[in-house]
């Protein structure tokens, strides 16, 4: 067996199930705000394209994807970021960001060097970053994101000896779970570090289209604004959140053509080609913005209804973007809070400590909960009212 498998830690939702074991909830409708799974209906334009393309099931797909799909992705990048990308060399369709993030690490990390390679991750983080690093034979290094740094990674805390071994840095903007968005100065600082130490930047941007009217700055966009090329930089995006189509497992990677050529080679052997049927539906999704605007408006309505209520009893405010609220709980015990909330109000949220690792003497997720506003507006509002009642009447 691969010895690195023993290094993997339980997934946050496995830990959540363990936390709730034996808990008996109150006799109230269950509202699940723990999982970042979009619940809005998948748009008709996507479903119609999917059904109309079922004939694609009779052929093997190409790993590079169809010309139509790559061009639709390039067109979206031009509309969204004002970037002119080469659809042949700078865009690669993938089966969702999770598959791509994991496989990209296996492509980039060179574990044959004398010193063990390092993959740097924000902390809290999406657990695929850690698992991909471990299974590639790298050492994860966690850079804490706390309120004191605006929930951005504190790059100044990374020792010179760690930078010297770093081969890959993950960033997530808008961030999961905090919703924090990197500024142009943040990107400028990270690019300078990449130029100095030669590491690759993997920019996870799957929440980029859920915002409050100000589209978040993207990594490739930042590079362009700073007069740079895309060297050692790739971005990952997906239709899951943007288009309420998580079951399609469709997204793309864009950026450094040399890196994507190597990634393409890896995925040819991995077998990561996207079904032609899914490709056709993806073209329809990337070509349409009306459903994205409607989706965004639905999330804004939920944030507007819920955030002022929760702010009465929790330390919480609107994120820069994404569909999460990152709330500091009274008493500081996020796991006890989550279990008691489930028992007394039948609401499930995710303890923040499950999304982070103890690093440099602190778990930066401890004392927080992640609230995913993925349920209906009525359910989210009802949940907020029940949370307010819970906090006002319960001592943890």
DSSP string, 114-181: SSPPEEEEEES--THHHHHHHHTTPEEEEEE--GGGTTS--GGGS-HHHHTTEEEEEEESS-TTT---
Cα(125)–Cα(163) distance, integer angstroms = 19
Q: What is the pLDDT of residue 237?
A: 98
- What total number of domains does the chain contain? 2
Domain boundary among 288, 313, 336: 288
- pLDDT tens digit string along 153-182? 999 999 999 999 999 999 999 999 999 999
Share of the chain above pLDDT 90, in %: 98
pLDDT band at 272 (very low <50, low <70, confident <90, very high): confident
Does residue 238 sit in the same domain as residue 374?
no
Does residue 303 sit in the same domain as residue 256?
no
Domain boundary among 288, 319, 354: 288
Does residue 254 sit in the same domain as residue 336?
no
What's the whole-number mean pLDDT along residues 229-252? 98
**Tokens encoding 67:** 């010309």
pLDDT band at 77 (very low <50, low <70, confident <90, very high): very high
pTM: 0.97
Q: What is the pLDDT of residue 113?
A: 86
Does residue 17 sit in the same domain as residue 54?
no
Cα(26)–Cα(28) distance, integer angstroms = 6
- CATH number of the domain encompassing residue 340: 3.90.1150.10
Residue whose tokens read 């804490």: 144
Does residue 263 sit in the same domain as residue 335?
no
The answer to whether 243 and 73 have CB atoms below 8 angstroms apart is no
**Tokens encoding 194:** 């990449």
The answer to whether 202 and 168 have CB atoms below 8 angstroms apart is yes
Where does residue 344 rank: exposed (0-12), middle (13-18), buried (19+ CB within 10 A)? middle
What's the whole-number mean pLDDT along residues 218-226? 98
Where does residue 297 rank: exposed (0-12), middle (13-18), buried (19+ CB within 10 A)? exposed
Q: What is the pLDDT of residue 224?
A: 98
End-to-end CA distance of the chain: 43
> Residue 130 phi/psi, 5° resolution?
-65, -50
Q: What is the DSSP letter of 10?
A: P
Does residue 297 sit in the same domain as residue 328?
yes
- CATH number of the domain encompassing residue 235: 3.40.640.10
The average confidence (pLDDT) of the chain is 97
Q: What is the pLDDT of residue 373?
A: 98
- List beta partners, residue 348: 32
CA distances from 133 to 109, 235, 248, 270, 295 (A): 8, 17, 25, 17, 33
Which residues fall within 8 angstroms of residue 23, CB to CB, at 6 or more apart?
Answer: 339, 342, 343
Q: What is the DSSP letter of 90?
A: S
Does residue 328 sit in the same domain as residue 383?
yes
- pLDDT tens digit string along 287-341? 999 999 999 999 999 999 999 999 999 999 999 999 999 999 999 999 999 999 9
Q: Beta strand 324-328 with 368-372: parallel, antiparallel or unpaired?
A: antiparallel
Q: What is the pLDDT of residue 114?
A: 83
What's the whole-number mean pLDDT along residues 73-85? 98
What's the whole-number mean pLDDT along residues 387-391? 98
Q: What is the pLDDT of residue 395?
A: 84
CA distances from 47 to 28, 214, 249, 282, 283 (A): 34, 29, 14, 10, 12
Does residue 272 sit in the same domain as residue 386?
no
Share of the chain above pLDDT 70, in %: 100
- The alpha helices in the chain, defined as continuous H runs, are 12-20, 44-52, 67-81, 96-108, 128-135, 160-163, 184-197, 219-225, 239-242, 257-270, 276-287, 290-310, 334-345, 377-393
The answer to whether 365 and 328 have CB atoms below 8 angstroms apart is no
- pLDDT tens digit string along 284-301? 999 999 999 999 999 999
Does residue 299 sit in the same domain as residue 276?
no
Does residue 16 sit in the same domain as residue 78?
no
Q: What is the pLDDT of residue 98?
A: 95
Q: What is the pLDDT of residue 236?
A: 98
Q: Which domain holds residue 234?
A: 44-288
- pLDDT tens digit string along 99-138? 999 999 999 999 988 899 999 999 999 999 999 999 999 9
Does residue 306 sit in the same domain as residue 190?
no
pLDDT of 144 higher than 80? yes
CA distances from 195 to 190, 228, 232, 259 (A): 9, 11, 9, 16
CA distances from 365 to 156, 327, 356, 358, 359 (A): 20, 10, 6, 9, 11
The answer to whether 121 and 293 have CB atoms below 8 angstroms apart is no
Cα(333)–Cα(314) distance, integer angstroms = 13
């Amino acid at each position: 067996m691969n010895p690195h498998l023993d290094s993997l830690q339980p997934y946050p939702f496995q830990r959540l199930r363990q936390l709730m074991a034996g808990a008996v909830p109150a006799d109230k409708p269950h509202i699940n705000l723990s999982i970042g799974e979009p619940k809005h209906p998948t748009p008709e334009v996507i479903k119609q394209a999917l059904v109309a393309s079922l004939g694609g099931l009779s052929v093997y797909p190409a790993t590079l994807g169809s010309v139509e799909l790559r061009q639709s992705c390039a067109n979206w990048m031009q509309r969204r970021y004002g970037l002119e990308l080469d659809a042949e060399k700078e865009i690669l369709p993938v089966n969702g960001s999770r598959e791509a993030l994991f496989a990209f690490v296996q492509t980039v990390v060179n574990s044959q060097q004398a010193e063990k390679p390092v993959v740097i991750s924000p902390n809290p983080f999406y657990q695929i970053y850690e698992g991909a690093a471990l299974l590639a034979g790298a050492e994860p290094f966690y850079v804490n994101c706390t309120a004191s740094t605006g929930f951005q990674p504190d790059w100044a805390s990374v020792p010179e000896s760690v930078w010297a071994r770093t081969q890959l840095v993950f960033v997530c903007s808008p961030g999961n779970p905090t919703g924090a968005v990197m500024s142009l100065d943040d990107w400028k600082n990270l690019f300078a570090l990449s130029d100095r130490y030669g590491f690759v930047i993997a920019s996870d941007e799957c929440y980029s289209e859920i915002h409050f009217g100000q589209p978040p700055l993207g990594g490739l966009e930042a590079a362009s604004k700073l007069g740079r090329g895309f060297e050692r930089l790739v971005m990952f995006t997906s239709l899951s959140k943007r288009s309420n189509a998580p079951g399609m497992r469709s997204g793309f990677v864009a950026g450094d053509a040399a890196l994507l050529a190597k990634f393409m080679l890896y995925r040819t052997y991995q077998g990561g080609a996207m079904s032609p049927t899914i490709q056709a539906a993806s073209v329809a999704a990337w070509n349409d913005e009306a459903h994205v605007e409607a989706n965004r408006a639905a999330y804004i309505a939920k944030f507007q209804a819920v955030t002022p209520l929760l702010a009465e009893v929790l330390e919480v405010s609107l994120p820069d973007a994404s569909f999460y609220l990152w709330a500091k709980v009274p008493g500081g015990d996020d796991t006890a809070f989550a279990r008691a909330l489930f028992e007394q109000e039948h609401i499930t949220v995710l303890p923040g400590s499950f999304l982070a690792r103890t690093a440099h003497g602190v778990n930066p997720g401890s004392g927080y909960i992640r609230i995913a506003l993925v349920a209906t507006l009525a359910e989210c509002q009802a949940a907020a009212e029940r949370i307010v009642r819970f906090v006002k009447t319960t001592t943890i």
